[in-house]
Structure 1
């Protein structure tokens, strides 16, 4: 069963005449958050995790992997490191979402929705609801005018790209 896809338009409509490799914003985003470790660490921060040892434990990644990914996410402005100090201990750092990190929330919701359709061994679900009214939280694609837009009604046009 075939699903509708986007329509390419403009000078780049001929797919054989150009390539998005190397400049596409989707590709750049995946360079940063396109690994399992990056996404599960972000999930844990969204769930309220802040401290390194807590993030490692709940994300199920090694300390070395967590340190590398968290450093990348901080350098990209997705997370910020803020100092804290337990009585009698040295200064340590917590990881908190930045405004830029908050922009990844729809992506996390989309991955959650996709993952719900995959086979799983354990029963149960992760239900996200709006604290204000109790309704389920969903991610939707809409145009600036507010219309819900499926892929088949989307036109992709490359603009301001040097030939």
Structure 2
């Protein structure tokens, strides 16, 4: 398989992952731009991918780094303003939707590392993958998740 075919297959397989990260970090009008930037970075990085991590981890890392860099460039460091994620899990259940919106509103108050860790954890990623994506140790992931959950509890009680 040539590089172009490999790229198309990766983008097709992981487009939802890429869009989710872009959606987390981009304003509504900028999601497509962020997505394109991530694709450019994946294309540039693909020849260097050695397979030392899972492809999903590699895609997440590129997506996170690209989006965070883009946010920094466009907001002059105000990375704590992240739009809410539209969760369609409970469209018919208004109360649960409100709870989910409140949770993501609280997540928006976290710093960029905490956001990345907790969002990956909410997607049921294992500690090893979270550690690889955000660049910390597996043990530190466990500690951070506990601290983040406690921080979110305190924020929700304010």
Q: TM-score, normalised by structure 2?
A: 0.23
Larger Rg belongs to: 1
- Greater share of residues in helix: 2
